[in-house]
Structure 1
């Protein structure tokens, strides 16, 4: 079952790109943009990550944190972050538990992990779900929603 607008964000922990532990509960109380993407270093995912990088200060100015999640390892995330100078958190979901908790669908006949962006209100409720394999519109849609807070 997929997370819908109005649902509470599922609580989770995961390994960050630097090897440390991320606990969602430490970030509740501020707007969150949580985006799931298929794989580090692929063209669409790199475009999406670099777009979030380019608008990261806009999110920060609104008090929001950006969190990217894929099934890649923390080491892969660290290399991806370093190469593209990504200032936000990347989480390893190697066992796909977080993806399952959110109900992120697969695409291309179930072969590719889906690309979905969620905007979480400071009170912990989901305010936006944007599901599109096109990497282009995720950032503008998320920024528009955070501005409404």
Structure 2
């Protein structure tokens, strides 16, 4: 069952690109942008990550945190983050646990993990779900939704 607008996101744990423990409940009280993407170092995913990087300070100024999630390993995420100077958290979801919690669909007959962005308010409630395989449109939508929450 997919998480939809109006749902409270259940707590989950994962590992960040640096191997640190991440727990969603530690971010309660802060707006979040959680974006799921197919794979590190692919053209679309790199474009998307770098767009979030380039506007990361705008999200921070609005009190929000950005979190990227894919099935890549912590090591892959670490190299991806270092190569592109990504200042935000990347979560490793190799077992698809987080993807399944959110109900992120796959594309192209189940061959490609989906690209979906969730905007979550301070209380942990989803205020927007943006599903598009086009990497370059997620950033605009996410920033607009975070600005509306202010």
- State the TM-score, normalized to the length of structure 1: 0.99
Do residues 19 (structure 1) and 4 (structure 2) align?
no
Q: Which whole-Å CA distance do the structure 1 matches of 2:129 and 2:62 have between them?
A: 19
User: What secondary structure is seen at the aligned counterpart in 1 of 2:47?
Assistant: helix
**Counterpart of 2:64?**
64
**Counterpart of 2:110?**
110
CA positional deviation for 1:104 = 0.1
Q: Which whole-Å CA distance do the structure 2 matches of 1:42 and 1:82 have between them?
A: 15
CA positional deviation for 1:28 = 1.2
Q: Deviations over 1:102-133 (max 9, x none)?
A: 00000011001000000000011000100000
User: What secondary structure is seen at the aligned counterpart in 1 of 2:45?
Assistant: helix
Q: Deviations over 1:5-36 (max 9, x none)?
A: 00001210001000111000001111000000
Q: Deviations over 1:51-71 (max 9, x none)?
A: 000000000000000000000
What is the CA RMSD across the aligned residues, in angstroms? 0.5
Q: Deviations over 1:71-119 (max 9, x none)?
A: 0000000000000000000000010000000000000110010000000
Equivalent positions of 1:59-138 (< 5 A) are 59-138=59-138
User: What secondary structure is seen at the aligned counterpart in 1 of 2:3?
Assistant: coil
**Aligned residues between the structures:** 149
> Which stretches in structure 1 are left out of the alignment for 5+ residues?
none
**Counterpart of 1:53?**
53
Q: Which whole-Å CA distance do the structure 1 matches of 2:112 and 2:10 have between them?
A: 22
Q: Which whole-Å CA distance do the structure 2 matches of 1:76 and 1:13 have between them?
A: 19
Aligned residues of 1:118 and 1:129 also touching (Cα < 8 A): yes
User: What secondary structure is seen at the aligned counterpart in 2 of 1:63?
Assistant: coil
> Which stretches in structure 2 are left out of the alignment for 5+ residues?
none
User: What secondary structure is seen at the aligned counterpart in 1 of 2:14?
Assistant: strand
CA positional deviation for 1:49 = 0.1
Q: Which whole-Å CA distance do the structure 2 matches of 1:33 and 1:72 have between them?
A: 19
Equivalent positions of 1:134-145 (< 5 A) are 134-145=134-145
User: What secondary structure is seen at the aligned counterpart in 2 of 1:136?
Assistant: helix
